[in-house]
Amino acid sequence: MRLPASALPPLLALLPSCGILSLSGEKQRAYDVHYQNAQYWYDAGDFNRALQQAHRALAIDDGDRELLLLLGWIHLKRGTLEDVYKAEGYLEQVAGGGLFRRRWYKATLGLGLALRRQGDYLRETAERMERGEIRPASSKDPKEEVARLRGRAEEKYARAVDLLEETVTLDPLDPHPLALDNLQQLHALRGETERSLACGTRFVEQARASRQFWTRKLEEPSLSAEDERIARERLAENLVREVESRGLAANLLFKRGRYAEAAVELDALLSLDPDRPEEYYNRARCRGELGEREGAVSDLQEFLRRTSLSFDAPEVRRAYDLIRAWEEGERADAPVPGPPAARSRS
């Protein structure tokens, strides 16, 4: 799961305050320059340059919590598997509280995301091994290795959930959207449907409030060009994430036989982004299960009008077959068969 730069928590713009007091004036000035440059390149999305500057600061003072936090998020944003494990190491150092410190939500959030990414890698590796796409070392039994990988993935997910839930409790009135979004996905992956739906509901409520804020921001007459760009980026990202959240909720509700609730989620999703052909197919499945033939046919026709899938795609063939059957008066209450149309949400 790639993290959009603007979805990250703003790191502290103030100069570091821990450990720096012991530096000489010259070293402190050099440290300040490298730290500020690292922060600048992080905000600009150039994580290689940010990392270079952060390491130069680290060579001067390796004990500052804010620098370690910044390093953790830089590695998290670079996003390779090696980076994700390095992010865990830096964030572990700063996530803990102390005698005069409360737990730091920016660190618990980043650490939770790093562990979730590690769990995803382990789960995906197990799935590829199960399909025969990759093989374990010759000395290992494939089934045992798959079980071991799945077990390790679950350990990562369990700890990620604990950290993300803690992140939410550290600021319960305004929980970070990345925490709620990932909790919704993790609970779904672990089969915890009701907890996933609850997180999705909170996320959508927060997304609406955020959208209202940025919409009002765009109405300010003195808004600068840069602030307008930022506001429009936030609105676009907000919409995509809410659409994906509602799509996941609809899948979970459909699997539990709660077809009317799933259809409501898809109604809201399509009102936000009508250019999602697969969701017309998925809503047709809900309407078919509810016996709403006309609505299901209308959705299937809209799916066929918008989709880029070839005629041989299973969803396309099923849509044509069912429309034909209904038009001929056969099984007017028949549900739309087959699995849901694929979504891009991980």
pLDDT category of residue 4 using cuts at 50, 70 and 90: very low
- The residue among 95 and 338 whose pLDDT is bigger is 95
Residue 232 clears pLDDT 90, i.e. is over it: yes
Does 255 have pLDDT greater than 50? yes
Q: What is the pLDDT of residue 224?
A: 92
Task: Please state the separation of Cα 121 from the chain's center in Å.
Answer: 15
Q: So what's the pLDDT on residue 23?
A: 65
Distance CA 283, CA 266 (A): 6
The pLDDT of residue 99 = 43
Residue 340's pLDDT is what? 57
> Which residue in this structure is represented by tokens 């087959």?
338
Please check the confidence at residue 265 and state whether its pLDDT lies above 50: yes
256 to each of 68, 180, 194, 262, 286, how far by Cα in Å?
Answer: 44, 22, 10, 10, 12
Token output for 183: 């909790």
Q: Specify the amino acid at residue 36.
A: Q
Burial class (CB within 10 angstroms; exposed 0-12, middle 13-18, buried 19+) of 330: exposed
Range scoring the smallest mean pLDDT among 49-53, 152-156, 174-178: 174-178
Q: Which position has the token pair 């602030």?
A: 227
Whether residue 18 is predicted with pLDDT greater than 50 in this model: the reply is no
Residue 144 in this model has a pLDDT that exceeds 60: yes
pLDDT for 42:
94
pLDDT for 24 equals 73
Residue 74 has φ and ψ, to the nearest 5°, of -60, -50
User: Residue 226 pLDDT more than 50?
Assistant: yes
Residue 140 has pLDDT above 50, yes or no: yes
What pLDDT shows up at residue 170?
86
Per residue in 36-89, pLDDT (tens digit) is 999 999 998 999 999 999 999 999 999 899 999 999 999 999 999 999 999 999
pLDDT at 328 over 80: no
pLDDT the model gives residue 254: 97
Q: Which long-range contacts (CB under 8 A, 24 or more apart) does 304-307 make?
A: 306/275, 306/277, 306/280, 307/277, 307/278, 307/281
Can you tell me the mean pLDDT for 269-286? 96
Q: Quick one: 244 exposed, middle or buried, by C-beta within 10 A (0-12, 13-18, 19+)?
A: buried
At 326, the pLDDT band (50, 70, 90 cuts) reads confident
Strand partners, 98: 101
Among the listed residues 71, 76, 73, the one whose alpha carbon sits nearest the alpha carbon of residue 54: 71
Q: What mean pLDDT do residues 145-172 have?
A: 94
For residue 172, pLDDT beyond 50:
yes
Angle between helices 259-272 and 225-255 (to 10 degrees): 160
pLDDT bucket at 160, cuts 50 / 70 / 90: very high
Residue recorded with tokens 């010759």 = 138
pTM tops 0.95:
no
Q: How confident is the model at residue 149 (pLDDT cuts 50, 70, 90)?
A: very high
Q: How far is residue 3's CA from residue 291's CA, in Å, rounded to a whole number?
A: 40
Q: CA 117 to CA 182: how far, in whole Å?
A: 10
Of 99 and 50, the structure prediction assigns the larger pLDDT to 50
Residue 1 has pLDDT above 60, yes or no: no
Q: To which residue do tokens 């950290």 refer?
A: 163
Q: Which of 276, 268, 272, 275 is nearest to 211 (CA)?
A: 272
pLDDT in tens, 238-247: 999 999 999 9
At residue 320, the pLDDT reads 94
Q: Given a cut of 80, is residue 20 above it in pLDDT?
A: no
* pLDDT recorded at residue 2: 39
Find the length of the chain. Answer: 346
Please give the backbone phi and psi of residue 139, each rounded to the nearest 5 degrees, phi first: -80, -5
